[in-house]
Amino acid sequence: MNKRILELFQEFPEAYVSGEEISRRLNVSRTAIWKHIEELRSAGYEFEAAPRKGYRLLSKPNTWQVNELLSGLRTKVLGQKIHVYGEVESTQTIAHALVASGAPEGTLVLAEAQTAGRGRMGRAWHSPAGKGIWMSLVLTPRIPVFFMPQLTLLSAVALCRSIQKVCQVDIGIKWPNDLLIKGKKVSGILLESSGEDERLKYVIAGIGISVNLKTEDYPEELRNIATSLAIESGADIPRESLVQAFLLEFEELYALYLEKGFAPIRLLWEALSVTLKRPIRTHTPSGVVEGIADSLDDSGALTVITQAGEKIKIYSGDIELK
């Protein structure tokens, strides 16, 4: 019943819903409504009750609302099984363990906070409690291991498109899969995999989205290079809606990819890129490369044209936009 009451308030965001209306729509007595509102209050929801007007939902608790997430989820596979945690070291570690005990494709691990969130290239990922989406998604594509970079780019496209749908922000992808708003990083993706006979056995897609962090939630050293969706859009974003949008977008692109290959994903990635045709610098095993980021090849590698006109392919690592 609490779930149905919440759904009703979601139909009328920020408005008063009268006791009469609730009682009529849900076929319950006024006393029962009051009891459910009290239960929701003790779960962290804030309601205002005004004589003759009814109830108004003021705020939701900033802990994961799994029922809400599941009730608005339109996917067939992804996120159909969700494991939610409070504080964990890393959702990646948990997802690997779940796969080992038979978790199927689409299993999602969500945490409020991570104490050892990991980023690409051995970096740490700042994951304070209740402020972001720190999640790991289990995938089992039976594709060759060397197609992993394509999945990385697909993840970035899904994430970028879902953020565009849910939040009014101007966001783009820096190769391979950092999401930037006005040059600052708002989200990162880390894919970890296990293969067998040169085919992928499973992939854990680790996604970090800085959703509702405020400037003071960042350590000093990150303030110039990182930002959040709330800082950039000027409003707090419901994390559940963003997870729903991301899983749906990912499921659709993943089906497209498994059917048609990388070509359509590559076009979508190019349309969202803030890297192509821009001057970049990167460190490769054979030294620093500077040039113009020209194009993405079929494997997902970035082709850079140096000042001397040489074409160099970058397969992994990080680039700096100049």
Distance in Å, CB of 85 to ligand BTN, minimum:
11
Which range binds ligand BTN by CB under 6 A, 78-86, 205-213, 237-245, 252-260? 205-213
Alpha-carbon gap, residue 137 to 98, rounded angstroms? 11
CA angle 228, 207, 162 (to 5 degrees): 65
**Is there a contact between 229 and 210 (Cβ–Cβ < 8 Å)?**
yes
Handedness of CA 102, 119, 238, 84 (dihedral sign): positive
Bridge partners, residue 313, by sequence: 303
Q: Is 273 in the site for ligand BTN (CB under 6 A)?
A: no
Our CB check for ligand BTN shows the closer of 23 and 63 to be 63
Q: Does residue number 188 form part of the binding site for ligand BTN (CB under 6 A)? A: yes
Which of 72, 119, 128, 130 binds ligand BTN (CB under 6 A)? It is 119
Phi, psi angles (nearest 5°) of residue 200: -75, 135
Find the part of the chain contacting ligand BTN (CB under 6 A) among 8-16, 58-66, 115-123, 245-253.
115-123
Return the sign of the alpha-carbon dihedral for residues 206, 164, 65, 60: positive
CA distance linking residue 218 with residue 261, whole number of Å: 39
- What tokens were used for 244? 């729903």
- Interface pick for ligand BTN out of 36, 60, 96, 120 (rule CB under 6 A): 120
Q: Is 98 among the residues that bind ligand BTN (CB under 6 A)?
A: no
Considering only residues 123 through 182, tell me which ones interact with ligand BTN, judged by CB under 6 A: 123, 125, 127, 134-136, 178
Contacts with ligand BTN, residue ranges (CB under 6 A): 90-92, 114, 117-120, 123, 125, 127, 134-136, 178, 188-190, 206-208
